[in-house]
């Protein structure tokens, strides 16, 4: 109670003092002699200057506070920008652009700084029935999606960051899709498809003994004149559906069990082709 009263007293005193100061500053009495008026007004202007200074100071401190907030905000922005210098295009290999006279480059990645976060979205964005190449550069990562390159998406190039680093994986089976061919993780129906340094994988579990409908295709290639360089094909039964057309496979790795390469295409496999057969209890192994 006592402290409250004291506080109130001092507060009222301060208010009264402030008000009277202001009144005295603005109300210059005309009855006084000229000299004293001059002296008074000088004194007043001094007081005014002090008041001005106080207001300026508080204004300035407010300004500087604002400025520091803004600059902190600015700094934060700056920092954020500095932390992701990889948005610069320098990380991509553009060698294929001149090699294939590429007219459009699209980038795909899971960590941002790319045009798309899914391979299918990049394929959808590529021009249809194009006579010029579209290069789709796919960053390292496992892209869990089923990808279809429709017949009119001609002249696409997929460029991964190494077949151990860039992987497109899905897990359909003959059972889940109503047919072996439809189980493919990636299906290509367009002509002139080319892939470099990327893997195609079907992660469905390998067929157990006597299981029907568990075959699962990693890649189905049904477009004419396709080429695969340094690619990986991972699956168990029916890994690579070399369906129709003329295809070229160079320096590729193919993993599978039964019929792991099958289809009616006319294909050339060369250059340190490696393959790995997964054995299961009652599986017969078909060699190349």
Ligand X SMILES: *[C@@H]1O[C@H](CO)[C@@H](O)[C@H](O)[C@H]1NC(C)=O
Catalytic residues: 259
Q: Does residue 120 bind ligand X (CB under 6 A)?
A: no
Q: Does residue 33 bind ligand X (CB under 6 A)?
A: no
Q: Does residue 211 bind ligand X (CB under 6 A)?
A: yes
CB of 70 to ligand X, least distance (A): 28
Integer angstrom CA distances of residue 221 from 14, 58, 180: 89, 74, 13
| CA 43 – CA 50 distance, rounded (Å) | 11
Q: Which of 219, 256, 216 is nearest to 236 (CA)?
A: 256
Query: Quick one: which segment of 61-69, 74-82, 212-220, 276-284 binds ligand X (CB under 6 A)?
Result: 212-220
Return the residue of 51, 96, 110, 278 that touches ligand X, per CB under 6 A.
Answer: 96
Q: Does residue 197 bind ligand X (CB under 6 A)?
A: yes
| CA 272 – CA 22 distance, rounded (Å) | 95
Integer angstrom CA distances of residue 190 from 100, 123, 180: 17, 11, 20
Q: 44-76 burial string, b = 16+ CB within 10 Å, else e?
A: beeeeeeeeeeeeeeeeeeeeeeeeeeeeeeee
Q: Does residue 158 bind ligand X (CB under 6 A)?
A: no
CB of 217 to ligand X, least distance (A): 12
Provide, for the chain, the percentages of residues in helix, strand and coil under a 3-state DSSP scheme, each rounded to the nearest 5: 35, 25, 40
Q: Does residue 152 bind ligand X (CB under 6 A)?
A: yes
Q: Does residue 140 bind ligand X (CB under 6 A)?
A: no
Task: Tell me whether residue 141 or residue 162 sits nearer to ligand X (CB atom).
Answer: 162
CB of 142 to ligand X, least distance (A): 12
148 Cβ partners below 8 Å, 6+ apart?
120, 123, 186, 187, 189
Residues numbered 177 to 196 that lie near ligand X (CB under 6 A) are: 196
Q: Does residue 93 bind ligand X (CB under 6 A)?
A: yes
Q: Which two tokens stand for residue 50?
A: 């002090």
Q: Does residue 117 bind ligand X (CB under 6 A)?
A: no
Q: Which residues contact ligand X (rule: CB under 6 A)?
A: 93, 95-96, 101, 103, 106-107, 115, 128, 132, 150, 152, 159, 162, 171-173, 175-176, 196-197, 204, 211-214, 230
């Amino acid at each position: 109670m006592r402290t409250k009263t004291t506080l109130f007293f001092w507060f009222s005193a301060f208010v009264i003092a402030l008000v009277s100061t202001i009144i005295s500053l603005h109300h210059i009495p005309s009855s006084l002699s000229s000299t004293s008026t001059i002296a008074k007004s000088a004194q007043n202007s001094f007081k005014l200057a002090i008041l001005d200074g106080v207001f300026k100071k508080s204004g300035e401190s407010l300004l500087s506070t604002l400025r520091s907030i803004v600059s902190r905000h600015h700094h934060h922005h700056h920092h954020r920008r500095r932390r992701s210098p990889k948005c610069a295009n320098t990380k991509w290999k553009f060698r294929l652009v001149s090699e294939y006279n590429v007219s459009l480059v699209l980038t795909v990645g899971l960590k941002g700084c790319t045009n798309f976060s899914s391979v299918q979205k990049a394929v959808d964005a590529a021009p249809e029935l194009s006579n010029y190449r579209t290069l789709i550069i796919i960053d390292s990562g496992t892209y869990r999606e089923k990808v279809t390159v429709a017949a009119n998406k001609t002249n696409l190039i997929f460029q991964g960051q190494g077949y151990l680093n860039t992987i497109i994986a899905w897990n359909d089976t003959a059972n889940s899709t109503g047919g072996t061919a439809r189980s493919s993780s990636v299906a290509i129906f367009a002509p002139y498809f080319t892939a470099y340094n990327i893997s195609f994988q079907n992660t469905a579990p390998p067929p157990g003994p006597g299981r029907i409908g568990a075959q699962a295709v990693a890649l189905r290639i049904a477009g004419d004149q396709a080429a695969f360089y340094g690619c990986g094909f991972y699956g168990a039964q029916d890994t690579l559906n070399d369906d129709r057309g003329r295809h070229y496979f160079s320096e590729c790795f193919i993993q599978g069990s039964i019929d792991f390469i099958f289809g009616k295409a006319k294909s050339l496999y060369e250059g340190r082709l490696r393959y790995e057969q997964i054995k299961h209890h009652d599986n017969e192994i078909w060699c190349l």
